[in-house]
């Protein structure tokens, strides 16, 4: 399963954006996120609450901001690889046509080797050098939240129908749009 | 071209999330966003700066939060229709198979009739009733930023390669990932 690395987190400035990045990582099928930035207990409690309510396996780890580089270098030492998302690099639609992308898409067991990096407004230049692929989620400014979602959904195209195990409750999709829930107990 | 309505904006609480929603709307091909919430001049200046630098046509309008309902009702009066994105309703992947979605996707001239609503954490229940379609961008909590991006990209699948006119500068996609720019003047 995919690991996401978010470089940069300031509690006051980034509280909500980072928490949306975390939620996107989980909802779009990553199993782990590393936050390199200010230690922020509220992110841990966000994740704990979401898992209790909506299920699934998901891990959040915080490391000091400067440790991102060591983390990435160690990751790459173990035959693993790194994709960095931003507005620079190869367009996602071109990358999708590559053998590498198709291989990843068709070998979900290899997704555990993948680290996806998203930054904030300013990413250290070294990230571009260390990444195996720099992928542009378009060449217009938008958001690390949307970049991560769009990339993961291209990689795992059924992800928005994924079932999360051991959910406290689950929404039943329904055309009329109203909120229908079942508890996992109801299914037995 | 698509119009987006964002319901709810508090300057302090939502500053960055709303600005990411605005950037996503623009980058993923909408031509207009209506923000129903606290009047926030910084959003206008964000949009102005982005257009000056990256080009294209995009309009931002702010209305008082409670006026969202009147806006939606007037929209619907003119043979126009409303899609509301959240974690409730018909799954995006099912909606994509519908005649309505396919029609929209193949008739880009009709996209100007479309209003896409995204809310914040709590959306008035009436939104669900007024929307012609309530579409679930998956049934897990994530973000209005990612929901809007994923939906618009499904609707306009080449959008991440769209060229924006009259850009002050433009990024050249390049596999090595470094930042290469051209100015529009260079192209003449």
Q: Which residues, given as ranges, of chain B have pLDDT below 70? A: 176-180, 182-188
Confirm or reject contact between B117 and chain A (CB < 8 A): no
pTM: 0.95
- Cβ-based contacts of B28 with chain A (< 8 Å): 138, 142, 146
Distances (CA, A) of B56 to A146, B30, B50: 20, 11, 9
ipTM: 0.94
Confirm or reject contact between A159 and chain B (CB < 8 A): yes
Per-residue pLDDT reduced to its tens digit, A128-141: 999 999 999 999 99
Contact A25, A4 (CB under 8 A): yes
On the question of pLDDT at A40 being above 60, the answer is: yes
Q: CA of B173, closest CA in chain A: separation in Å?
A: 5
- Average pLDDT of chain A to the nearest whole number: 92
Query: Which residues have CB under 8 Å from A112's CB, separation 6+?
Result: A1, A2, A3
Closest residue, chain B, to A86 (C-alpha): B177
Nearest partner of B5 among B54, B53, B76, B88, judged by Cα: B76
How confident is the model at residue A101, as a pLDDT? 95
Comparing CB atoms, the residue among B142, B161, B177 nearest residue A88 is B177
Confirm or reject contact between A54 and chain B (CB < 8 A): yes
- The answer to whether B142 contacts A27, with C-beta atoms less than 8 Å apart, is yes
How much of chain A exceeds pLDDT 70, in percent? 94
Per-residue pLDDT reduced to its tens digit, A143-181: 999 999 999 999 999 999 999 999 888 888 887 666 667
How confident is the model at residue B179, as a pLDDT? 65
Residue B40: strand, helix, or coil: coil
Contact B21, B148 (CB under 8 A): yes
Closest residue, chain A, to B50 (C-alpha): A141
How confident is the model at residue A187, as a pLDDT? 43
On the question of pLDDT at A126 being above 70, the answer is: yes
- Cβ-based contacts of B159 with chain A (< 8 Å): 138
Structure tokens at A143: 């958001």
Other beta carbons less than 10 A from residue B14's beta carbon:
23
Rounded mean pLDDT, A6-16: 92
Per-residue pLDDT reduced to its tens digit, A67-111: 999 999 999 998 899 999 999 999 999 999 999 999 999 999 999
DSSP chain A: --EEEEE---HHHHHHHHHHHHHHHHHTT--EEEEESS--HHHHHHHHHHHHHH----EEEEE-GGGHHHHHHHHHHTT-EEEEEESSSEEHHHHTTSHHHHHHHH-GGGGGGEEEEE--SS--HHHHHH-SEEEES-SS---HHHHHHHHHHHHSTTGGGPPPTT-S-EEPP-TT----EE-GGGG-
């Amino acid at each position: 399963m995919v690991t996401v690395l978010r470089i940069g987190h300031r509690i006051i400035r980034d509280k909500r954006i980072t928490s949306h990045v975390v939620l996107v990582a989980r909802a779009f099928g990553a199993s782990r996120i590393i936050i390199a930035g200010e230690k922020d207990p509220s992110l841990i409690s966000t994740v704990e609450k979401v898992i209790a309510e909506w299920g699934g396996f998901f891990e959040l780890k915080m490391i000091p901001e400067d440790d991102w580089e060591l983390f990435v270098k160690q990751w790459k030492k173990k035959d693993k690889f790194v994709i960095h998302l931003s507005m620079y690099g190869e367009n996602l639609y071109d990358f999708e046509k590559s053998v590498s992308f198709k291989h990843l898409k068709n070998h979900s067991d290899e997704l555990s080797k993948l680290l996806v990096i998203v930054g904030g407004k300013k990413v250290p230049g070294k990230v571009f050098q260390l990444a195996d692929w720099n992928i542009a989620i378009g060449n217009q400014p938008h958001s690390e939240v949307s970049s991560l979602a769009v990339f993961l959904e291209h990689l795992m195209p059924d992800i928005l129908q994924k079932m999360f195990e051991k959910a406290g409750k689950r929404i039943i999709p329904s055309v009329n749009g109203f909120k229908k829930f079942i508890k996992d107990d109801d299914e037995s």
